[in-house]
Amino acid sequence: VTKKRWRRLWSLLVRFIFITVFIGLVGVSAYVVYLDGAITRTFEGRRWTVPAQVFAQPLEVYEGLDLSQEAFIFELDRLGYSENTSGESPGTYYIGPKTVVVTLRPFQFPDGHRAAQTLSVRFRGDHLSRLLSAGQSVSVRLEPAVIGSFFPSHGEDRLIIEPENTPRLLTEALIAVEDRNFRSHWGFDIGGILRALMVNVAEGKVRQGGSTLTQQLVKSYFLDNRRTFTRKFRELVMAIILERHFEKEELLNAYINEIFLGQNGRRAIHGFGLGSQFYFRRPLEELSAEEIALMVAIVRGPTYYNPYRYPERAQARRDRVLNTMHAYGLIDDAIVRAALAKPIQLATSRSGGRYYPAFMDLVRRELSRDFDSDDLAVNGYRIFTTLKPHLQDAAQIATLRTLGILERERNLPSKTLEAAVIIRDSQTGDIHAVVGGRTRGSQGFNRALDAHRQVGSLLKPVVALSALESGRYHLASSVNDAPIVLPDFDNWAPLNFDGQFRGPVPLIRALSDSLNVATVRVGTDVGVAKVASRITSLTGKAISHPFPSLFLGALDLTPFEVSELYAAFASGGFRTPGRSVVVVLDEAAATLSRYSIDVKQMFSSDNAAAMTRALQITMQRGTGRSSQFHSTGIAGKTGSSDNYRDSWVAVFDANLLTVVWIGRDNNTPHGLSGSRGALRLWDLLAQELAIQVALVPSLSHALQWAWINYQTGSETLEQCRDAVNVPLPRDVDLPRDSTCERGSDRRRSRLGKWLD
């Protein structure tokens, strides 16, 4: 009985095991079939998450350009060009006496493809004197610098590399180092696993991995990083499936575009295309043997072998890769000796180019009107912008230096002052630089776009403009700078900054010397509603229930809004809204959206001429006279808020309009007026600018140039003291200046004749 019972139990156990194994095999088979279909469909229809690339404005190079040899080389270095003995291969240059030979890389511009092109560039002093290509004079554009990307929430960023653009040395090095049996195995390599196990046991630590390139691709593309038996089993099955359905070269190309190679903040560097830019700021096809070896070395552990943090560890790993490449005949004796002798040389910027978060913030906001953020993050768009890197860098450097100087001079706590800078084209409105704070590369609060601060005297030119538009005023009109009380506004009695009154003064002096009382008299005569309406038309900011304090700047604007206001003065009376994006292309270089310049005339050319001249005089002998550039023909206005909480300046010449704000985030006083704070920052920045005289529009027949006394507004002569040259109505009859000898007729200056 006992034997029969045991036989029955044994029979049941065998059946149970058989059924369990059978069900398990069926389940595994079904799972494998499911995986086969799912993985094949996913991989066949794979679309890499390719974030949009954002480009700066390209530098146009032509004969006669104000560009020194040193500055030209700096621009090439910025783009990742390297010096060699000939400069005849793309991405390289050669330096000779007053000469640079450079071969430009091919590049897809919005208006067409530019093939690689060798140039001979000659310099004379600080000028580019000759620019030849194949013996012919040419003008060219350098390819624009990459200044950022819009990557998705998971942080993956990459540049897709096609098989034909992948260096053979890279693919063969990957196979030799990571998976020497890649071309013969079916997704897994028993020999490789056993070999890695033996090496690791012998050395007492993990020195080799057993995963094939296909398994690594599966782990990166399909799976997470959990180390479990189930995940390893799925990795093995999925690798076999990929090998069954796809060619080796397809898998290798997918690996080259997918593998993780490093981290830059929230941005994950995937693929060798972006890795090349991140570590060396050069295209993959331009890398040398030792640079390719370093990239291959990093694959084993991007964090552990991070060359920025652990250069010695990374170099040791790189050297082992170089020796493996030599052992497999990929590089010869001379190359390996030279490569081993070189230290690791990385790009100075860890972003693969300089990133400008404040400007990128503006670009994102402009694009949000036409594009969904998800589209920008995954579809590989190419966005061409108006940023000029040399201006952006100069503005950021001037900001950091000036704030440090001001804090030391005034015994302010370190790093308590903040600043914002906007630089835009005076005529087109193109935004060339945005500084959102003192910290370079900070992605925090963007003060240039979001800091609403009281603008103070920056609004006084709008009061003057409104007065000119009323037809009752011109620049020599007399305004009484005497005590005034406004009973309809709680008996408000404004005072000048020094508490003094100057009696009758011309409108030009009221503006240039920033006289509060005289400005309020003009504003109340014109009407606060008229001034408020004009401010709204220039900035787009609605003002509800305006009060006379508006005349003195009791209005909060952002630096960007201030730049919109002053753009009308800089452009001769036209409103040209700020533009940061020029064109957006898709992956195939087809145009998705083009952003044209929008121009609208806001006030007459005559009033524009009068205001530009008034703002020039403001810089020459008014509140801007402390500038070292006050006599260069620049135009602008300083501004300060109550108790010196905000320091402002807006300055323009023929080319650029710059707005600077300095203050504290907690809005506490710092004691800096516009001329003692923001103007000093602009002065430092202006040392890097090619300043041109501000453009004064031609006068109509209704106006003529005349010399007046700045203090009194009376007619005078060019050689007389306090004489300033301004546009005035032809029929105006001014009192004569009795303090200076005069002729019988009004004389027009040489400047006036030239401008008229």
Q: 507 pLDDT exceeds 90?
A: yes
**Dihedral (Cα; 192, 193, 196, 202), 10-degree rounding:** -130
Q: How confident is the model at residue 353 (pLDDT cuts 50, 70, 90)?
A: low
Q: Tens digit of pLDDT for each residue in 29-41?
A: 666 665 666 677 6
Of the candidates 296, 322, 285, the one whose C-alpha atom is nearest the C-alpha of residue 216 is: 296
Tokens of 90: 């793309």
Residues 6 or more apart whose CB falls under 8 angstroms from that of 604 comprise: 469, 573
| Backbone dihedral angles phi then psi of residue 473, each to the nearest 5 degrees | -130, 150
pLDDT of residue 238: 80
Q: How confident is the model at residue 753 (pLDDT cuts 50, 70, 90)?
A: very low
pLDDT of residue 743: 45
Average pLDDT, stretch 359-373?
A: 92
Residues 6 or more apart whose CB falls under 8 angstroms from that of 686 comprise: 627, 628, 629, 651
Q: 452 pLDDT exceeds 90?
A: yes
Q: Tens digit of pLDDT for each residue in 386-403?
A: 999 999 999 999 999 999
Residue 103's SS3 state is: strand
For 723, other C-beta atoms within 10 Å of its C-beta total 17
Sort 646 into a burial class: Cβ within 10 Å, 0-12 / 13-18 / 19+.
buried
For Cα atoms 257, 151, 104, give the angle at the middle one, nearest 5 degrees.
Answer: 65
Sort 66 into a burial class: Cβ within 10 Å, 0-12 / 13-18 / 19+.
exposed
Paired strand residues for 149:
53
Residue 457 is among the residues annotated as catalytic for this protein? yes
Q: 212 pLDDT exceeds 60?
A: yes
C-alpha to C-alpha distance for 312 and 318, rounded to whole angstroms: 10
Average pLDDT, stretch 482-506?
A: 93
Q: 351 pLDDT exceeds 80?
A: no
Tokens of 247: 């060619």
C-alpha to C-alpha distance for 683 and 19, rounded to whole angstroms: 86
pLDDT of residue 151: 73
| Prediction pTM value | 0.85
pLDDT of residue 32: 64
Range from 338-342, 445-449, 580-584, 688-692 carrying the lowest mean pLDDT = 688-692
Tokens of 320: 């082992």
Question: Which residue of the set 143, 178, 243, 366 is catalytic?
Answer: 178
Residues 6 or more apart whose CB falls under 8 angstroms from that of 605 comprise: 572, 573, 697, 698, 699, 700
pLDDT of residue 454: 97
CATH superfamily of 52-148: Penicillin-binding protein 1b domain (3.30.2060.10)
Q: Tens digit of pLDDT for each residue in 543-568?
A: 988 999 999 999 999 999 999 999 99
What CATH class is the domain 151-340?
mainly alpha
For 15, other C-beta atoms within 10 Å of its C-beta total 10
Sort 572 into a burial class: Cβ within 10 Å, 0-12 / 13-18 / 19+.
buried
DSSP 715: B
Residues 6 or more apart whose CB falls under 8 angstroms from that of 699 comprise: 605, 606, 609, 705, 727, 755, 756
Residues 6 or more apart whose CB falls under 8 angstroms from that of 639 comprise: 455, 456, 457, 458, 459, 553, 646, 647, 648, 649, 650, 674, 678
Range picked from 198-202, 377-381, 734-738 for highest mean pLDDT:
734-738
Among residues of the chain, what percentage have pLDDT more than 70?
89
pLDDT of residue 31: 60
Q: What is the mean pLDDT of the chain?
A: 89
pLDDT of residue 204: 62
Residue 626 is among the residues annotated as catalytic for this protein? no
Q: 699 pLDDT exceeds 90?
A: yes
Q: Tens digit of pLDDT for each residue in 262-298?
A: 998 778 899 999 999 999 988 999 999 999 999 999 9
C-alpha to C-alpha distance for 491 and 159, rounded to whole angstroms: 66
Q: Tens digit of pLDDT for each residue in 651-688?
A: 999 999 999 999 999 999 999 999 999 999 999 999 99
pLDDT of residue 210: 62
Q: Tens digit of pLDDT for each residue in 405-432?
A: 999 999 999 999 999 999 999 999 999 9
pLDDT of residue 747: 42
* Per-domain residue ranges of the chain: 1-45, 52-148, 151-340, 703-755
Amino acid letter for position 550: L
Q: Tens digit of pLDDT for each residue in 74-116?
A: 999 999 999 998 888 999 999 999 999 999 999 999 999 999 9
pLDDT of residue 354: 62
For Cα atoms 396, 613, 516, give the angle at the middle one, nearest 5 degrees.
Answer: 80
Tokens of 694: 């501000």
C-alpha to C-alpha distance for 100 and 68, rounded to whole angstroms: 11
Angle separating helix axes 213-221 and 229-245, nearest 10 degrees: 110
Of the candidates 398, 397, 391, the one whose C-alpha atom is nearest the C-alpha of residue 680 is: 398
Q: What is the sign, positive or negative, of the torsion defined by CA atoms of 334, 335, 336, 337?
A: positive
Among residues of the chain, what percentage have pLDDT more than 90?
69
Average pLDDT, stretch 509-532?
A: 97
pLDDT of residue 751: 43
C-alpha to C-alpha distance for 41 and 127, rounded to whole angstroms: 59
- Maximum C-alpha span of the chain: 147
Tokens of 571: 């452009």
Q: What is the sign, positive or negative, of the torsion defined by CA atoms of 462, 463, 465, 466?
A: positive
Residue 266's SS3 state is: coil
Q: Tens digit of pLDDT for each residue in 169-183?
A: 999 999 999 888 888
Residues 6 or more apart whose CB falls under 8 angstroms from that of 75 comprise: 59, 142, 390
Q: Tens digit of pLDDT for each residue in 293-348?
A: 999 999 999 999 999 999 999 999 999 999 999 999 999 999 999 999 999 999 87
Q: 461 pLDDT exceeds 70?
A: yes
Helix, strand, coil: what percent of the chain each, to 5? 40, 20, 40
Specify whether the CB–CB gap between 644 and 670 falls below 8 A: yes
Residues 6 or more apart whose CB falls under 8 angstroms from that of 679 comprise: 624, 626, 627, 638, 649, 651, 660
Question: Which residue of the set 149, 211, 457, 563 is catalytic?
Answer: 457
DSSP 379: B
Listing DSSP states for 491-558 in one string gives: TB----TTS---EEEEHHHHHHTT-HHHHHHHHHHH-HHHHHHHHHHHH----SS--GGGGGT--EE-
